[in-house]
């Protein structure tokens, strides 16, 4: 692996600066600390191979391919502003490296400051943890993943890049109490609801950012039993916490117009409220309320209950989330 670092360092540096320009064009990296992190942390060290969809399934691209053209294709793909499939089992995607511009947006939304302790749920390749380490220092970063193969791989990638955060194999829904308390929690995998363990491990005033439905909700923690916040404007599709598929994946519900089914905003509402609303009810609400954008929705966690809502936590449109 050390030889690969030398071989790809120069080309990787040029490609990385191109990626940074792409992320800037997306509207992220306004914070100079994150701009520096994305400019200096080499993504190619964290994805020595990845998979692309082909006619007959997934095709593997890797840094050690004997064909220089294939190696060049691998490196170009690494530094595109795109998610990369990094682990596939039995034809199913179980781990990925997220789209860098989305990662930048998430990290900036957390409003991280010097000295903050951060818990990451979903170690992935280790790239996101490396960005956090660059910003905060290794001692302030903890990343957790259920899959031992993933944590071993992430730990190895991080070590090659010169970072040594705490990489823990365990159930991300339980957090990591031995490293608590945390000022920030960031999840890079989709969940149906907010694990109460995360809030209990947070300092008052902490922020929790997690994919939920097909969006990203940012919660402010009051104490271990209370948190509330709204969704960011962006859409977000992540691998589920235990490597399953997103819940809105069963095909178009009977009677639901194709135009509504294919509208990303409606899919968000329907997935968020599908425990309470059938497709027609969700469609009627969505149309009646002017096809609301994600940022009009929020989540409240309080005293062992949690619910999603439109516009107002105490308003007429609220739906219980599944028990964690």
- Show which residues are catalytic: 95
SS3 of residue 102 by DSSP = helix
SS3 of residue 320 by DSSP = strand
What span, in angstroms and rounded, lies between the C-alpha atoms of 206 and 64? 42
Closest CA relative to residue 24, chosen from 108, 84, 98: 108
CB atoms closer than 10 angstroms to residue 318: 17
What span, in angstroms and rounded, lies between the C-alpha atoms of 224 and 40? 36
Closest CA relative to residue 213, chosen from 276, 124, 125, 258: 276
Sequence-distant (6+) residues with CB within 8 A of 33 are 135
Closest CA relative to residue 184, chosen from 253, 225, 236, 132: 132
Tell me phi and psi for residue 65, to 5 degrees. -65, 140
Closest CA relative to residue 194, chosen from 216, 178, 177, 166: 216
What span, in angstroms and rounded, lies between the C-alpha atoms of 179 and 181? 7
Closest CA relative to residue 299, chosen from 182, 185, 220, 238: 220
């Amino acid at each position: 692996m050390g030889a690969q670092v030398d071989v790809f360092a120069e080309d990787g540096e040029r490609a990385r600066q191109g990626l940074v320009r792409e992320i800037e064009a997306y509207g992220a990296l306004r914070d100079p600390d994150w701009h520096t992190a994305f400019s200096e942390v080499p993504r190619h060290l964290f994805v020595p191979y990845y998979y692309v969809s082909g006619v007959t399934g997934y095709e593997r691209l890797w840094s050690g391919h004997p064909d220089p053209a294939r190696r060049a294709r691998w490196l170009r793909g690494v530094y595109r502003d795109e998610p990369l499939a990094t682990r596939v089992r039995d034809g199913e995607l179980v781990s990925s490296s997220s789209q860098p511009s989305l990662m930048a947006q998430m990290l900036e939304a957390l409003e991280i400051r010097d000295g903050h302790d951060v818990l990451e749920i979903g170690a992935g390749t280790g790239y996101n943890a490396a960005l956090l380490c660059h910003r905060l220092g290794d001692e302030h970063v903890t990343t957790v993943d259920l899959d031992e193969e993933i944590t071993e791989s992430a730990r190895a990638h991080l070590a090659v890049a010169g970072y040594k955060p705490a990489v823990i194999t365990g159930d991300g829904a339980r957090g990591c109490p031995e490293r608590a308390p945390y000022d920030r929690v960031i999840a890079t995998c989709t969940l149906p609801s907010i694990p109460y363990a995360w809030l209990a491990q947070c300092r008052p005033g902490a922020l929790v950012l997690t994919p939920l439905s097909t969006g990203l909700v940012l919660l402010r923690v009051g104490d271990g039993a209370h948190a509330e916040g709204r969704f960011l404007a962006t859409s977000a599709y992540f691998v589920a916490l235990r490597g399953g598929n997103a819940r809105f994946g069963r095909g178009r519900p009977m009677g639901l117009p194709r135009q509504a089914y294919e509208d990303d905003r409606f899919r968000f509402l329907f997935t968020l409220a599908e425990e309470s609303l059938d497709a027609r009810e969700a469609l009627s609400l969505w149309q009646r309320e002017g096809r609301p954008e994600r940022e009009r929705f929020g989540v409240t966690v309080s005293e062992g209950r949690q619910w999603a809502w439109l516009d107002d936590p105490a308003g007429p449109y609220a739906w219980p989330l599944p028990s964690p």
